[in-house]
Amino acid sequence: MNSQAKNTTKTATKKLNAKDRYRMLTRDLDWDFSYADRKEAFPYEEFEGIKITDWSKWEDPFRLTMDSYWKYQSEKEKKLYAIFDAFSQNNGQMNVSNERYLNAIKLFLTAVTPLEYQAYQGYAHVGRQFSGIGARIASQMQSIDELRHVQTQIHAMSHYNKFFDGFQDWAHMHDRVWYLSVPKSFFEDARSAGPFEFLLAISFSFEYVLTNLLFVPFMSGAAYNGDMATVTFGFSAQSDEARHMTLGLEIVKFLLEQHEDNVPIVQEWIDKWFWRGTRLLSIVGMMMDYMLPNKVMSWKEAWETYFEEAGGALFKDLSRYGIRMPKYSDVIVKEKEHISHQAWWIFYNFGHAAGFHTWIPTDEEMDWLSEKYPDTFDKYYRPKWELARKLEAEGKRFYSNGLPQLCQICQIPMTFTEMDGDPTMFSYRDSIYKGERYHTCSDGCHDIFENEPEKYIQAWLPVNQILQGNCGGPDLESILRDYYNFNVGADNMDIEGSPDQERWRKWKGHVA
Amino acid sequence: MPVQAIQKNYEFDARDAQKNYGDNMLLYVGWDHHTLFCAAHAFVVSPQQSLQDLIDQQIQAGFNQHPDFEHIDWSKVQFTLNRERLTDIDFSKTLADLNFDHKSLLRFVTPGLDGYNGTHV
């Protein structure tokens, strides 16, 4: 039998052009279902009231196929971990400005890194739930980015765990510690919302509008304070963040262009998430103004640059869709001169219950604060530090007795004050829902409560849980030690006299 | 406004309902213009304790760190409960009789005592 002669003239397989290749590796991963109902396959798309008429109008915010993604990311990883190794081998921790700086990083690891983990989960969820393939792919890539950020942040900061207190058990602390419920509940609010609200909350409001107010302070703060590990993480995350920003911009424009009925829904989400994001960022404000030994800029300056200028231009652009500036942005313009001082004052009050150290600013720092906040610091906040110094000098360093009232929405102690009138008066707001009283810290949080009360009556407020007996105790020290996993006497209390400070001075050869 | 939820009956118990505190209730107490304290305090109180008990126990413990505290003339203090001024106060009455309920907010003003050096701190 003759076997078929091999066809030696091979038909040349045409190499795909870039456009077709891209399409096949992205859009064409979708298919028309022949026997499954599309609405059943994507059950989350309609309940929010968002109307999508034509998913094909989705414009990819960035053009990346998975193989390119893996290639670029793995190149970054190789460099990143080489730098982490060098940092560790060369005792990089000795190059930070001083031992106070590390407390900003303790706050980052316990407050922000777990949010990256929540983001990874959130994007994985919506990355399945959108019926538009472009949105699914962008979300899936972001999900992997966020998981990478969890990992790279942990690795960046793990070296410090060998030398400073308060880096242990950050994941455990995130789920239980009173001030960490602020970031945790923020993200849980987003993740328990529908997929469109999630993208509006995180991709648009947080990762586009407000992103520079988180990223720049921490990364510049690291650069100014000799923290090479965190700086390197920052560089390695930058291109990821650029993609995230473009997704945020795309989702808002896509929703607004798809149907006019989407406009009021999107406006409501912008109002809610802009407010929640700003409240969350009060921790960043205090970090910039009080925790960095070498200051980058004031919170007020950061707000003016990254929101009033940049955000102002953005909302001017969105006005053609009928979108206006977020509700209460006028309040925040006034609050920018207050909230960082108020937030740090909370932690000074409750320094015995914090997993990082707190302190009274130095004279030089207070002069800097005077200069940066000419209308508010000397009048409202310097007197606090004067009294704190007086009490400390009397051997009664002020650690507030008892527990503070928390806002039902942002879960921050109700320290924010009236911006129209008396800025020394707490801005108490309240609601009654189904016979129960609820307290909020501002018109912004009050309105959020009134809009979706059933969501927030379930809030796990740390102070209220402690008082219910759900966090051990009965005394605060047992709660810190057994429920929070703090090393009491090491992680908490003033920086003055702390083990961190003693070690630092010994390493640096300072005279005590 | 109801929550836009994927399920029809999006209804839950309040996590801080009074029954979670046994026979007690939560009370928030704030001393106006004394911002040494970063926020109002949260206390567990008994509806059956008197207002005088509240002052002698929880309020004393929560606020006596302030230099102004020992100078307070309680007969001149202005109390506001849930946005309503209390008048003709009988300190021996129970909190329940004075209309304190779960998660009430009590604010008090001490005329003439305006915080550290009069700065409201």
The predicted structure's pLDDT at residue A9? 56
pLDDT digits (tens, 9 = 90+) for A128-174: 999 999 999 999 999 999 999 999 999 999 999 999 999 999 999 99
Judge whether A183 lies within some domain.
yes
Residues of chain A positioned with their CB less than 8 A from the CB of B1: 450-453
Q: CA-CA distances (angstroms) from residue A270 to A197, A198, A315, A334?
A: 9, 11, 11, 20
Judge whether A60 lies within some domain.
no
The CATH number given to whatever domain includes residue B55 is 3.10.20.560
Nearest-CA neighbor of B47 among B100, B110, B86?
B100
Nearest-CA neighbor of B61 among A346, A428, A403?
A403
Could B38 and A415 be called an inter-chain contact, meaning their C-beta atoms sit closer than 8 Å?
Answer: yes
| Separation CA A66–CA A26 (nearest Å) | 9
Q: Which two tokens stand for residue A413?
A: 């102690």
Judge whether B5 lies within some domain.
no
Count the domains in chain A.
1
The predicted structure's pLDDT at residue A10? 56
- Residue A346 near residue A354, CB atoms below 8 Å: no
Judge whether B12 lies within some domain.
no
Angle at which helix A66-89 crosses helix A228-258, to 10 degrees, equals: 150
Judge whether A477 lies within some domain.
yes
B30: containing domain:
21-118
Residues of chain A positioned with their CB less than 8 A from the CB of B62: 401-402
Nearest-CA neighbor of B78 among B21, B33, B22?
B33
If you measure CA to CA, which chain B residue comes closest to A344? B38
Count the domains in chain B.
1
pLDDT digits (tens, 9 = 90+) for A88-111: 999 999 999 999 999 999 999 999
Q: State ipTM.
A: 0.98
Q: Is the bond into A474 cis (omega within 30 degrees of 0)?
A: yes
Judge whether B6 lies within some domain.
no
If you measure CA to CA, which chain B residue comes closest to A465? B16
Residues of chain A positioned with their CB less than 8 A from the CB of B33: 424-425
Could B38 and A402 be called an inter-chain contact, meaning their C-beta atoms sit closer than 8 Å?
Answer: no
Judge whether A12 lies within some domain.
no
Q: Tell me which residue in A401, A424, A439 faces B35 most closely, judged by beta carbons.
A: A424
Judge whether B96 lies within some domain.
yes
Q: Average of pLDDT values for B74-103?
A: 97
What's the angle, vertex CA A319, arms to CA A314 and CA A325, rounded to 5?
65
Residues of chain A positioned with their CB less than 8 A from the CB of B118: none
Q: How far off is chain A from B92, nearest CA to CA, in Å?
A: 24
Residues of chain A positioned with their CB less than 8 A from the CB of B35: 345, 384, 424
Inter-chain contacts counted by CB atoms under 8 A, chains A and B: 140
Could B30 and A401 be called an inter-chain contact, meaning their C-beta atoms sit closer than 8 Å?
Answer: no
Q: How far off is chain A from B9, nearest CA to CA, in Å?
A: 11
Could A425 and B33 be called an inter-chain contact, meaning their C-beta atoms sit closer than 8 Å?
Answer: yes
Residues of chain A positioned with their CB less than 8 A from the CB of B84: none
- Residue A302 near residue A288, CB atoms below 8 Å: yes
Could A402 and B32 be called an inter-chain contact, meaning their C-beta atoms sit closer than 8 Å?
Answer: no
Q: Tell me which residue in B41, B115, B117 faces A403 most closely, judged by beta carbons.
A: B41
Q: How far off is chain B from A185, nearest CA to CA, in Å?
A: 14
Ranges of residues in chain A with a pLDDT under 70 are: 1-12, 511-512
If you measure CA to CA, which chain B residue comes closest to A44? B6
Q: Tell me which residue in A383, A436, A452 faces B1 most closely, judged by beta carbons.
A: A452
Judge whether B15 lies within some domain.
no
**Which among B10, B16, B83, B108 is the top mutation candidate for probing chain A, defined by the most A β-carbons within 10 Å of its own β-carbon?**
B16
Residue A298 burial (CB count, 10 A):
21
The CATH number given to whatever domain includes residue A369 is 1.10.620.20
Judge whether A35 lies within some domain.
no
A312: containing domain:
65-508
The predicted structure's pLDDT at residue A3? 55
pTM of the model: 0.96
The predicted structure's pLDDT at residue A186? 98
Q: Which two tokens stand for residue A325?
A: 């500036």
The predicted structure's pLDDT at residue A14? 79
Could A405 and B39 be called an inter-chain contact, meaning their C-beta atoms sit closer than 8 Å?
Answer: yes
Burial of residue A474 (number of CB atoms within 10 Å: 0-12, 13-18, 19+): exposed
SS3 A30: coil
- Residue A465 near residue A330, CB atoms below 8 Å: no
Q: Average of pLDDT values for B71-83?
A: 97
